[in-house]
Amino acid sequence: MRASHADRERTTDVLRSGFAEGRLDKAEFDRRVDLSARAVTQGDLQQLILDLPNGPLMGPPAVPQSQVPATFYPAPPAPNYHVPGVYPGPAHPGWLAPPPNAPTNRLAIGALLCGLGGMFYGLTSIPAVILGHKARAEIRQKREQGDGLAVTGLVFGYLGLAFWALLVLVIGTFTI
């Protein structure tokens, strides 16, 4: 059966997924995408993705769709794209929220307190930044609560550092 533009796009999506997962190197990915653009039949497209987890594509049945019961030709599953190295946030469907009785991370509380203190005493801004980053890492790893506290501590810590650095720069400029 001849391949349609939609068939070529689905094949290219499977190839992109294989490339993103590290199953294909750049040269092999480029070669297969070029072949998928020039493919004439669905068999040509299936040969390009047989060794990838998301392929081969399911072709239409041999009889017309009107004569096929709905259970005979199910819709293909939705592709599951995963970008390595990206922390999924609450909007991501695979994100696991901390359980409601999870404890609040103590480093996050410390980051917030040091960040607020850094606005008045510049030296506590440095621990606020360190504690904030450590708290966010622990929160992701242990599924604890307190990510907002850690982010707020980081923001106040960086603002405190910028404020005190600017203050020292201005005082140094006018005293010379």
Q: Report the C-alpha gap between 138 and 106 in whole angstroms.
A: 10
Question: For residue range 32-73, what is the model confidence (pLDDT) as tens digits?
Answer: 999 989 888 888 888 888 888 765 544 444 445 455 455 444
Bridge partner list, 2: 41
Q: How far is CA 53 from CA 6, 15, 30, 105, in A?
A: 19, 10, 18, 39
Q: How far apart are the first and last CA of the chain?
A: 82
**What are the structural domain ranges in the chain?**
5-63, 106-175
Q: Report the C-alpha gap between 33 and 142 in whole angstroms.
A: 41
Question: For residue range 122-144, what is the model confidence (pLDDT) as tens digits?
Answer: 789 999 999 999 999 998 888 88
Report the pLDDT value the prediction gives residue 58, as an integer from 0 to 100: 47
Amino acid at 148: G
Q: pLDDT exceeding 90 applies to what percent of the chain?
A: 27
pTM of structure: 0.46
Q: What are the φ and ψ backbone dihedral angles of 97, each rounded to 5 degrees?
A: -75, 150
